[in-house]
Amino acid sequence: MAMLRFAVFRFFTMLATLLVVSVLIFIIINLPPGDYLSNQINELRATGQSSGVAKAEFLRQEYALDRPLWQQYLIWMGFAPGPHGFSGLIQGEFGWSFEFDRPVAELVGGALWLTVLVNLAAIMFVYMVALPLGVLAAARAKTWVDYTSAFLGYIGLATPNFLLALILFYYGNRYLDLPIGGLMDPRFEGEPMSFEKMKSVLIHLIIPTFVIGTSGAAAMMQRLRANLLDELGKPYVETARAKGMSETRMLVKYPLRVAFNPFVADIGTLLPAMVSGSVLVSVVLGLQTIGPVLLTALKSQDLFLSAFVLMFVALLTLIGTLISDLLLALLDPRIRFGGRSS
């Protein structure tokens, strides 16, 4: 029951936080003077294109951009009726992209699941590489195993992602016949999911997963090694050894569980950090994720598109934080729900 109460409390806290974040996103996006339509109107007036000005003014009224900022926010969220009644985010209406002249939902629909897929694959790569190497480096400290893993970690941290992408872009295609660019063969774009399409996606995921996950895996490996070495030097470890407990069982049962806590907590920030950090890699590798879309939307001040993408990243952050909090509560019995034991 305590776990259920904690989960419900964290869920509603997440919703409240998301509401506050939505306000901040909307305010920050509107901080620069003007917007896409205002800039377009100024350009059209400067060139004397009155018909284009009329169309842009119509769109401003159509999407309530001629109203005060607080009203625009309420209409965008769906808390207040706009020109078309209640049609905001909570009703599933994401707005219109003026830059691409398409509905936001249609524009980002495919990119969203590809973004999540790429970054989930990268996170799996991070944990699958960092955890065994970090534990092995700590357990075999000051040996060739430790020095080799440290050397690999430093290379991973020092190599820029875009440079690694360019290197693998060339050599992966030349020597391993890996596909160049994109997340699937062009013939599968717009087609329903099938075994052949999924196979194409998985093959195309190899290079992006390695590129995006390398620096994260290197950093996590170094932190896990340091935390585990710190735990292995504590008195309770010597006590367990003195009682005859095997090294492997002692390592897994006590110090590893404690040292692993920060990496469970990292789930809340790892996914959105990879989404935002993979924008340049997505451009270099030609990935159909939301990174390049967000970059274009921010440059052109495309209000609804950029606001939705930022809300999506914020949602990923909060969902990741919720998952990490629940896993921490299960992993570490010292954690008290609500700050007190039940």
Per-residue pLDDT of 286-300, as tens digits, reads 777 777 788 788 888
Residues 78 and 200 in one domain: no
* Residue 16, pLDDT score: 93
For 161, the token pair is 């992602």
Residues 87 and 161 in one domain: no
Residues 68 and 192 in one domain: no
The CATH number linked to 116 is: 1.10.3720.10
Residues 134 and 283 in one domain: yes
Choose one of 84, 103, 122: the last residue of a domain: 103
Residues 87 and 128 in one domain: no
Residues 92 and 183 in one domain: no
* Structural domains counted in the chain: 2
Choose one of 43, 78, 103: the last residue of a domain: 103
Average pLDDT over residues 72-79: 90
Choose one of 103, 131, 162: the last residue of a domain: 103
* Residue 23, pLDDT score: 94
Residues 171 and 189 in one domain: yes
More confident residue, 16 or 124: 16
Residues 290 and 240 in one domain: yes
Residues 221 and 168 in one domain: yes
Report the C-alpha dihedral over residues 96, 11, 269, 296, rounded to 10 degrees. 0
* Domain interval for residue 255: 112-339
Number of separate helices (H) and strands (E) present in the chain: 15, 2
More confident residue, 35 or 334: 35
Question: Which residues, 6+ apart, have CB-to-CB distance to 283 below 8 Å?
Answer: 291, 292, 295
SS3 171: helix
Residues 236 and 319 in one domain: yes
Average pLDDT over residues 156-171: 75
Q: Can you give the pTM of this predicted structure?
A: 0.76
Residues 332 and 222 in one domain: yes
Residues 188 and 83 in one domain: no
